[in-house]
Structure 1
Amino acid sequence: MSTAITNSSSDATDSTPGGTPVRPSTATPKKVTQARVVLSEWTKLRSLRSTGFSMLAAVVFILGLAVLVPSVTVAHWPPHDAREAAGFDPTSRSLAGIFLAQLAVGVLGVLLITGEYATGMIRATLAAVPSRLPVLWAKAVVFALVTLVVTVPSVLAAFLVGQSILKGKNLQAGLGDPGVLRAVLGAALYLTVVGVLGLGLGALLRNTAGAISALFGVLFVLPIIVRFLPTSWSDPIDTYLPSTVGEGVMHVHTDPAALGPWAGFGLFCGYAAVVLLLAAVRLRRRDA
């Protein structure tokens, strides 16, 4: 009887109420790899409503001002100031929307990481990826690629639209002109690095308001403060400011006293990389 009870108990354990045998699960958890973390971050990014809104705002700024600024230019051409006519840059008139688009892209970069800290979702993310750093690298890679995919066609379209309007006064430039293609593609690269910089500040400060304030302070407030310094101080400092070196790649006519377009852009990337590295150190040493 003891044997019968044992066998009956075993059968009850290994079968469902309907009598179907239940086999022990042989599935093994998948190894956490950088590629899988990147795929996870891509899923998060495209599922956020703020992603669509921010990217749409950036595109609207880029294209909207590519119509508005050249239209105003044509309507008031020639200018009363001869120096303005001599220094006229048709490419920059088409890319005027970049300076508003960077607000949308930079804020989205901040929200991409601080939103997880605000909701507590970051704990689940780091529990799934105990080594932590792959999460930060994946966010940076995914966001940079998405930003490039959105902004490259946007700036090309903005340039073509703007030049078609400027053609009414024979003021247009072509992509084959010296420095023009570099300036147009440089605008997309600049926006990408601004977004990564925002992401790095968000990961470092872990606070939405603080990170956005820091980003705007670096890009907009700091240059204004520097201008109030004595010229002997302001000129050398301004040469190496993040906004100055980053925007240089978008200028067709460069300042001989400033860093070259690609050298300046490389320094701008370096600033973003330093912020990301500081964020990585804090991510490894501090709990979420």
Structure 2
Amino acid sequence: MMTALTTSAQGTGARVDLIGTIHSEWIKFRGLTSNIALAGFALLLLIANGVAMPWAYVFRDRGSPQADYDAYAEMIVDKTGYVGVVLAVLAVLLVTNEYRSGQIRTTLLSIPSRVPALMSKATIIAAVSFVIGVISSLIGFAVAPTILTGGGYSYQLEAPDALRLIGSSGLYLATLSIIGIAIGSLIRNVVASVLTTIVFLVVAPVIPQMFSEYGTEITRFFPIQAGSFLLAPHGTDPMGPWGGYLVLAAWTITLFTAAAITLKRRDA
């Protein structure tokens, strides 16, 4: 079966440009039920977290000082990065499934320069992830005050801060998901790429804390941990929200650049 890219290229007699490539990738993305299911699963997890966190606060056992703290708005979105691993895995599958099926050869015949194909996949998963982050955080912030009020609690959240947290949720997930595109393109194998993504994002940050007295400091510079400062209360870390995001962006740009270079130099 010919891909949408090949059909488009034959119909125009020309190479497909980036806009056409993005459109074709969107057709491929929405055409697979598994893609929609994983994206929907991530959305449901984030919504569930946004609802569960205020409920957990209301029913928290405040017998210890660690459990007795004031409610804060960021609790609604502070686990966003860990749920974002699902979207990073989805991104891996967008790439590796084409290699497994052999469809990648048809894609690259339509886009000889190759890099636009990678960019289009990154654009699609970033856009989907951004929308998921925005929608889930909107729902969380809409529902949480009612839950907290029912237990006699509340938090203060001004409109500019709400917009910042909602937008940052989408930005965090969008940037994190591109790491999955990069890892999938570098490794190509479905299982190996998925496992590498999970180990890199979830397991690797724990290792420095096991073997070094500076482990906590080192862990701050891993993607999920650094990006999470976007959604943390002010003053949580000297790196600050945008400093943390720059660390996440640096990881993403480095991996994506390596993937693009490798894609251009390696056979399909």
- Asked if TM exceeds 0.5, the reply is yes
Contact 1:65 1:96 in 2 (8 A): no
Is 1:264 paired with 2:220? no
Contact 1:178 1:252 in 2 (8 A): no
Structure 1 Cα separation of the partners of residues 82 and 224 of structure 2? 13
Where in structure 1 are there 5+ consecutive unaligned residues? 1-26
Contact 2:187 2:193 in 1 (8 A): yes
Contact 1:70 1:166 in 2 (8 A): yes
Structure 2 Cα separation of the partners of residues 69 and 143 of structure 1? 27
Tell me what 1:22 maps to.
Answer: none
Is 1:43 paired with 2:44? no
Equivalent pairs: percent with the same residue?
29
Structure 2 Cα separation of the partners of residues 161 and 97 of structure 1? 17
Instruction: Say which is worse superposed, 177-186 or 140-149, in terms of deviation.
Output: 177-186
Moved over 3 A (4+): 177-181
Contact 2:176 2:248 in 1 (8 A): no
Is 1:250 paired with 2:231? yes
SS in 2 for 1:228: helix
- Which of 49, 69, 82 is the equivalent residue of 2:65? 82
Shift of 1:92: 3.7
Contact 1:61 1:101 in 2 (8 A): yes
Q: CA RMSD in A?
A: 2.1
TM-score normalised by structure 1 residue count? 0.82
Shift of 1:139: 1.0
| Cα pair distance change 1:28/1:188, threshold 3 Å | closer
Contact 1:107 1:212 in 2 (8 A): yes
| Cα pair distance change 1:226/1:181, threshold 3 Å | farther
SS in 2 for 1:146: helix
Is 1:234 paired with 2:215? yes
* Larger-Rg structure: 1
Shift of 1:285: 0.5
Contact 1:239 1:259 in 2 (8 A): no
Tell me what 2:95 maps to.
Answer: 113
Report matched runs for 1:147-226 at 5 Å.
147-176=129-158, 179-226=161-208
Question: Higher relative CO (CA 8 A, sep ≥ 6), structure 1 or 2?
Answer: 2
Shift of 1:239: 2.9
Instruction: Say which is worse superposed, 129-138 or 171-180, in terms of deviation.
Output: 171-180
Is 1:274 paired with 2:254? yes
